[in-house]
Amino acid sequence: MTARTTHTRKTARGAWPVARVLRDRDAGLYLAGAVVSGFGTSALWLASGVWVKDLTGSDGLAALCMLAMWAPTLAGPALGTLADRVRRKPLLIATNLLSAGLLFALFAVDSPDTLWLLFAVLFVYGAAGVVHDAAESALVAAVIDPRLLGDLNGLRMTAGEGMKLVAPLAGAGVYAAYGGASVAALDAATFVLATGLYAALRVREAPPRRPAVNWRRQTAEGARYLWGHPRLRPLVVAGGVMMLCAGGCGPTLYAVVDTLGHSPAYAGVLYALQGAGSVAVGLLAGPALRRLGGRRFAAAGVALLAVAVAARAVPHDAVALVSSAAAGAGMPAVLIAALTAVQHETPGVLLGRVTATANSLIFTPNVLGLAVGAALVELADLRLLLPALGAVLLATAVPLARRPA
């Protein structure tokens, strides 16, 4: 038995998850890189919409920034295939450097006539992000002890949600003081710093074998593997339904605030509590996965979200505050369970495209849910709409809970 194996077994039995992950050098480096790059992305996400709003006065064009960043997710299976055709660590470094260099093109955006450049950069930025996520997932699964993956993915979720609470405010402050180009420079700097952290990972990758099939067939192999896997398919489907309902619930937030008799700014309080719930569950994800198994952990999260969404129909401050925290705690469970299962159950040669396919199936429905929710909130009574969404979520949780862990 090696010293590393002995150390891992000792830490797997009793240490606090944060310490257990950070004692692993590569896990700590990966997590630090994810935090740094996530900070820059979250800052740019808000600042780009404000930038477009200032230049054009159009809410619709401002909303297109998010669409431009999300649109490449639709091509996730094909983009993720790249992570199975080349070595993952150099690809991860290359996508970070590409994103950093790309952002400096935004220094040329100074009028409505140059907005096309902003949207083009955001689109390529989003595509690079899809490739980055696929390569990252595959590389982490290769270098991190499998018993640490649940803890690491939970901490990754905690870090991401924490950045969503802090980075948009920082980005807005930098934008207000120095303009949009300065936010782009900040984001570029985070990518360069993350590149250094990823470069320090100790991993030896053999060049992948030349694929015997073309790109389209290689992409299809990943999709077939995911859809045909009895453990992965239920988690991915549940994640997609959850994100669809979460998207449908999103546009109701201001209507909920209105029923409480508060100004729209009160939504910030509910968002903060939701983020706090997500941070908390990320810290507990590793132990919960070991105790419950992936499917039951996911089912518990979706069920908690179902109750929280339905409870938002009650026009009472205390209920709204508790339900926001509960929703934040419930949403990440199925996402963490699905990603960890993909990393555990997928052969390394397929992991890039399977990860990207799973992400596409889980996150794309959120965009549809946002569109449907925006229409329904104008037509349906919240007392009917929110419990209906909760019922769909609960029906999604029940089959997961009945399956073996």
Domain boundaries, the chain: 3-199, 215-402
Q: What is the pLDDT of residue 123?
A: 93
Query: Fold match between 3-199 and 215-402?
Result: yes
Q: Is 24 helix (H, G, I), strand (E, B) or coil?
A: coil
211 pLDDT higher than 70: no
pTM score: 0.82
CB 355 within 8 A of CB 339: yes
Which pLDDT band, with edges at 50, 70 and 90, does 4 fall under?
Answer: very low
CB neighbour class for 3 (10 Å; exposed up to 12, middle 13-18, buried from 19): exposed
Residues in the chain: 405
Indicate the average pLDDT of the chain: 85
CATH topology for 3-199 is Growth Hormone; Chain: A; (1.20.1250)
Residue 131 vs residues 38, 40, 137, 282, 321: alpha-carbon distances, Å: 15, 17, 10, 24, 37
258-296 burial string, b = 16+ CB within 10 Å, else e? ebbeeeeebbeebeebbbbbbbbbbbbbbebbeebbbbb
Q: Quick one: tokens of 343?
A: 């990393």
Q: Taking residues 313-328, report their average pLDDT.
A: 91
Most confidently modeled range among 274-278, 313-317, 332-336: 332-336
Q: Which amino acid is at 203?
A: V
Q: What is the pLDDT of residue 327?
A: 92
203 pLDDT higher than 60: yes
Q: What is the pLDDT of residue 101?
A: 94
165 pLDDT higher than 60: yes
358 pLDDT higher than 90: yes
Positive or negative CA dihedral for 149, 153, 156, 158? negative
Which pLDDT band, with edges at 50, 70 and 90, does 2 fall under?
Answer: very low
- DSSP code at position 230: T
Q: Taking residues 190-210, report their average pLDDT.
A: 85
CB 345 within 8 A of CB 232: yes
Placement of tokens 């038995």 in the chain: 1
pLDDT tens digits for range 96-145: 999 999 999 999 998 999 999 999 999 999 999 999 999 998 888 888 88
Q: How far apart are the first and last CA of the chain?
A: 29
> Which CATH architecture describes the domain 215-402?
Up-down Bundle (1.20)
Q: Quick one: tokens of 207?
A: 């060049």
Which pLDDT band, with edges at 50, 70 and 90, does 159 fall under?
Answer: confident
22 pLDDT higher than 50: yes
Which pLDDT band, with edges at 50, 70 and 90, does 50 fall under?
Answer: confident
Euclidean distance between CA atoms 59 and 158, whole angstroms: 30
Which pLDDT band, with edges at 50, 70 and 90, does 15 fall under?
Answer: low
Residue spans of beta strands (DSSP E) within 121-250: none
Torsion from C-alpha of 190, 195, 201, 204, nearest 10 degrees: 160
Q: What is the pLDDT of residue 213?
A: 66
Q: CA angle 119-125-128, nearest 5°? A: 145
382 pLDDT higher than 90: no
Q: What is the pLDDT of residue 310?
A: 93
CB 112 within 8 A of CB 64: no
Q: Quick one: tokens of 35?
A: 């935090």
CB 251 within 8 A of CB 373: yes
pLDDT tens digits for range 26-45: 888 888 888 888 888 888 88
Q: Which of 340, 304, 332 is nearest to 152 (CA)?
A: 340
CB neighbour class for 223 (10 Å; exposed up to 12, middle 13-18, buried from 19): middle
Euclidean distance between CA atoms 267 and 26, whole angstroms: 38
Tell me what percent of the residues of the chain surpass a pLDDT of 90: 38
Residue 213 vs residues 39, 78, 217: alpha-carbon distances, Å: 38, 14, 6
Q: What is the pLDDT of residue 394?
A: 94
